Amino acid sequence: MFATGEEPLGERVNSYHKLKRTELLIEALEPDELEFLRNSTFGKILAIEENPPFSGAFGQYVVVRLQKVNKKYEVWFIFAGSPVRMSLREFAIVTGLNCRKIPEPTKKRKTPLKEKLYWNELLGSLKFCTVDTAIDMLKKKVVKSKEARIKFACLAITSSILFPSSHTPRIIPEHLELIRDLDEFLAFPWGRASYQTLATSLISKDEIALSQASVAIRDYVDAI
């Protein structure tokens, strides 16, 4: 996109994902709950979080060397003078996430009103729930059962690490409804879904956006 040597000298990539939030989540969990997550599809993500390789300045250095390509979900950068690809394959290797095809949405039930929303069962009358609130509920043992606590932790991971949309991310309602069945939730191809949104966010950046001092990137930018 920019000629070699003419890349913008911005300061940093502005990531909505904050390491401190993940540290607080880990601290709020019991040892057996944390062990469960380490052995789940999110295990490698947590390992990366505990030894973070990413810095905003390095992220900016890489992102401004973004190349324009015709493939929808394939991203290329120039690094050390050579083209480097980030595709779904590389994302899967780095994150360890399930990157299989996303299943087709199930058909809506004919009588949806007869089934109570799982949001109400898990969060009661709350109209929305920030990830920080969910972590605080874990820390203060407001959420008591092991299964519910693991569900809260999983929702915090998807909402604040894989799909953060602001600096104060909220639990994503669609994810909460899916976690009604924990096994189904953990088997979902979160890797493909996260990669597609990250790639879309990167590819959407034009020369003007990349020339700013701070470049905002949605989703799991640390995977770069």
Tens-digit pLDDT profile for residues 81-121: 788 888 899 999 999 999 999 998 765 554 455 557 899 99
Q: Is residue 3 part of a domain?
A: no
Q: Is residue 59 part of a domain?
A: yes
d(CA 130, CA 44): 24
Rounded to the nearest integer, the mean pLDDT of the chain is: 83
pTM exceeds cut of 0.85: no
Q: Is residue 214 part of a domain?
A: yes
Residues pairing with 216 in the sheet:
14
How many C-beta atoms surround the C-beta of residue 100 within 10 A?
A: 12
Backbone angles phi, psi at 123, to 5 degrees: -120, 5
Provide DSSP, 166-211. Answer: SSS-B--HHHHHHTTSHHHHHHS-HHHHHHHHHHHHHHT--HHHHT
d(CA 33, CA 26): 9
Q: Is residue 16 part of a domain?
A: yes
Q: Is residue 129 part of a domain?
A: yes
Domain residue limits at 212 = 12-223
Regarding beta strands 66-67 and 75-79, do their DSSP bridges make them parallel or antiparallel, or are they unpaired? antiparallel
Q: Is residue 4 part of a domain?
A: no
Q: What is the pLDDT of residue 7?
A: 40
Q: 144-153: per-residue pLDDT in tens?
A: 999 999 999 9
Which amino acid is residue 88, in one-letter code?
A: L
Higher pLDDT, 200 or 16: 200
**Count of all residues that appear for the chain in the document:** 224
Mean pLDDT within 176-186: 96
d(CA 210, CA 60): 9
d(CA 192, CA 148): 25
How many C-beta atoms surround the C-beta of residue 65 within 10 A?
A: 19
Q: What is the pLDDT of residue 9?
A: 44
Higher pLDDT, 45 or 223: 45
Of 64-78, 92-106, 171-185, the range with the highest mean pLDDT is: 171-185
Q: Is residue 7 part of a domain?
A: no
Cβ-Cβ contacts under 8 Å for 221 (sequence gap 6 or more): 13, 15, 17, 54, 59, 198
Query: Number of folded domains in the chain?
Result: 1
Q: Is residue 66 part of a domain?
A: yes
